[in-house]
């Protein structure tokens, strides 16, 4: 069995250094999940007149609302200068086959941010809104320590 040239104590020190670098360059972004769907029915009589297909009561008023669920997380942000380029190389079998447009962004988050972003649909930072295009690519020297997500700008 091969012997590791780096001890566990050294690995811990290197991971801590990488965490310090992440903390130094990370900025706070706001992540929005798909809103929680809430059905409003005040009494059993209004429940009897609720139409589940249209999401309305008999009088025509809507009884379904969406609560916005947002989180603030730390992420390193890299703006990509691309003009309809692709991350896939035609000569290799690339898992990332993402068409990039101007204004695309790659963000890097830790494990906590990954847990939030994998369920999210969009995020917002520096006055712009972005749609999350990928599911998170793990990266790290000694195993998954951070995750990359690619975002595309939303025109709103």
Residue indicated by tokens 């290799």? 92
Residue ranges of domains in the chain, CATH in brackets: 8-34+70-153 (2.40.10)
Alpha carbon distance 4, 68 (integer Å): 48
Q: What is the CA radius of gyration of the chain?
A: 22
**Res. 48 pLDDT band, cuts 50 70 90:** low
Quick check: 35 and 69 in contact, CB under 8 A? yes
Q: Quickly tell me which residue has 């965490």 as its tokens.
A: 19
Q: pTM of the predicted model, to two decimals?
A: 0.69
pLDDT of residue 25: 95
| Euclidean distance between CA atoms 116 and 149, whole angstroms | 12
Instruction: Count CA atoms closer than 13 A to 130's CA, side-chain side.
Output: 26
Render pLDDT for 54-109 as a digit per residue (tens, 0 to 9). Answer: 555 555 555 566 677 889 999 999 988 765 455 555 555 555 555 667 788 999 99
């Amino acid at each position: 069995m091969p012997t590791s040239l780096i001890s566990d104590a050294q690995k811990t020190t290197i991971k801590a250094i990488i965490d310090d670098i992440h903390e130094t360059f990370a900025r706070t972004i706001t992540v929005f999940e798909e809103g929680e769907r809430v059905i409003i029915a005040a009494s059993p009589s209004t429940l009897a007149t609720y139409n589940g297909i249209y999401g309305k009561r008999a009088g025509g008023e809507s009884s379904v609302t969406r609560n916005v669920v947002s989180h603030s997380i730390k992420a390193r942000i890299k703006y990509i200068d691309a003009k309809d380029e692709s991350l896939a190389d035609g000569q290799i079998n690339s898992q990332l086959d993402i068409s990039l447009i101007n204004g695309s962004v790659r963000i890097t988050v830790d494990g906590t941010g990954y847990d939030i972003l994998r369920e999210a649909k969009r995020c917002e930072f520096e006055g712009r809104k972005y749609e999350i295009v990928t599911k998170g690519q793990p990266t790290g020297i000694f195993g998954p320590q951070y995750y990359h997500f690619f975002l595309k700008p939303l025109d709103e």
